[in-house]
Amino acid sequence: MNFRVFFKSIKFAFRAKKRVIPFMMVYAILIIVVSDGYLSANWAWYLLMALIVSSFYAILISQFRRRDMSVFKCIGWSNNDVMLLVIGEVILVTVASFLIMLQISFEIVGIVTYFSVNMAPGSLLAMVHDFIVIDAVPLFSTFFIVLGMQIPGLFIAQRRAMSVPPMKALREE
Amino acid sequence: MVQPIIQVQGANKEFGKGKNTVAALKDVNLEINAGEFVAIVGPSGCGKSTLLHVMAGLEQPTAGRILLDGVDVTLISERDLPKVRMQKVGFVFQSFLLIEDLTAFENVQSVLWPSVDHTKEKQEMKALEVLREVDMLERRDHFPRQMSGGEQQRIAIARALVNDPPILFCDEPTGNLDTKTGENIMKIIAELNREKKMTVVLVTHNEDLVKFAKRTLRMKDGVIR
């Protein structure tokens, strides 16, 4: 793997804020939902949800970056280098949303402890707390689940990116 | 005897399938020597851009051979073609084709990012050097949307030069520019041919640009006449 291209792709992804920020939010919600549900009896549905959202995002990036990918291919980037553009953005969004959830969990636990908030079982506050605050083990394992669920989407994105000759893609723009 | 740097032998290119097949190139044969400035002129849809793309290894011909600096690009796999493009050719397109989310400097430098032969410092120095050559050093931190068409085309030229390719392919490089700006862009390209002995292949429908070339080829209906 070309690390220089990989790190540049992360910097590049930061500039696509209009797409990246909403998906960070979507992934943060995905992490909450999956970590709350993947240990339940319906774990398969939660993994399927993670798979669908992650695959959709990878395909979406390859669609949005179609022109850029074609230009990079024209100027001599290999298919693997071009794919790093998608991988960089996917990893940025996954890591950022994981950090957002980690920070939110820290903040809520900190506030509750600091102010000695009394959360009666069944109260709205307790329900919000239980839903949003994720324990360390489920949070970290969900991070790896979501990361792993990107792989099929990345394969699809890779096939889409590589199957089209660069000039054909540019002509279709 | 000068060895041709580009050889096109019996190239055919067809688009579409069955009844809808359109022949864009019909048995094209052509040789271009190192250091030449060749203009390929013809009306829209005559196949000149297709010929340029085929010569540059951006598209494979349906039949025939293309030799770039002795390398038969029709025999090279899709996987290895980018390496050949990186080493042998630079492109200037009509619509500039800059990456909108990268600055001028990054657009130029991006060609070298995958290269393991260039350190980060070397890449930066090379990018700055070519930006200076096209007189765009002071615009290095600007994004394409902050630049005029002429400036964007200069950046595109700098990007085409940064990997020191022996061949420069220009596809209607002045097509999206006003006459004066187009003239300036052509002067830069002609200077590259004169001073760096770079082989330039220019495709255009604009007869006024022919004066910059040392040889002119005319194309009609997929055939060089």
Domain containing B206 equals: 4-224
Cα A4 to Cα B115: distance, rounded to the nearest angstrom? 9
Our count of domains for chain B comes to 1
Strand-strand pairing, B223-224 and B215-220: antiparallel
* Confidence tier at B139 by pLDDT (50, 70, 90): very high
CB distance B31 to B65 below 8 Å = no
Q: What is the pLDDT of residue B1?
A: 59
Cα B61 to Cα B12: distance, rounded to the nearest angstrom? 6
Cα A57 to Cα A106: distance, rounded to the nearest angstrom? 27
What lies within 8 Å, CB to CB, of B73 at 6+ separation is B57, B66, B67, B81, B84
Residues of B in contact with A2 (CB under 8 A): 113-114, 116
Alpha helices (runs of H) in B45-197, residue ranges in sequence order? 48-55, 81-88, 104-109, 120-133, 149-161, 179-195
- Three-class SS state of B9: strand
Q: What is the pLDDT of residue A169?
A: 63
**Chain B (115-154) residues lying within 8 Å, Cβ to Cβ, of chain A:** 116, 120
What is the crossing angle of helices A136-163 and A43-64, to 10°?
40
* Residue A75 in contact with partner chain B when CB distance is under 8 A: yes
Full strand arrangement of the beta sheet holding B199-204 = B89-92, B167-171, B199-204, B37-41, B215-220, B223-224
The 10s digit of each residue's pLDDT in B2-48 is 679 999 999 999 998 888 899 999 999 999 999 999 999 999 889 99
Candidates A6, A64, A75, A81, partner chain B, best to mutate (most B CBs within 10 A): A75
In sequence order, what are the beta bridge partners of B170?
B92, B202
Q: What share of chain B is helix, strand, coil (3-state, %, to 5)?
A: 35, 25, 35
CA nearest to B206, candidates B93, B43, B49? B43
Rounded average pLDDT per 10-residue block, chain A, 173 residues: 88 89 91 85 87 87 86 89 88 92 89 83 82 86 89 83 72 65
Nearest CA in chain B to A18: B101
Size of interface A-B (CB pairs under 8 A): 65
Q: Which two tokens stand for residue A133?
A: 């605050």
How many CB atoms sit inside 10 A of residue A59's CB?
16
Rounded average pLDDT over B68-92: 89
**Chain B (21-40) residues lying within 8 Å, Cβ to Cβ, of chain A:** none
The C-alpha of B1 sits at a distance from chain A's nearest C-alpha, in angstroms, of 31
* Residue B76 in contact with partner chain A when CB distance is under 8 A: no
Q: Which two tokens stand for residue A89?
A: 């953005």
Q: What is the pLDDT of residue B113?
A: 92
In this structure, what CATH number is given to the domain that contains residue B29?
3.40.50.300
Residues of A in contact with B98 (CB under 8 A): 71
The 10s digit of each residue's pLDDT in B38-73 is 999 999 889 999 999 999 988 899 999 999 998 999
Alpha helices (runs of H) in B2-72, residue ranges in sequence order? 48-55
Strand-strand pairing, B63-68 and B89-92: unpaired
Nearest CA in chain A to B102: A12
DSSP annotation of B212 reads G
Cα B8 to Cα B30: distance, rounded to the nearest angstrom? 5
| ipTM of the complex as predicted | 0.90
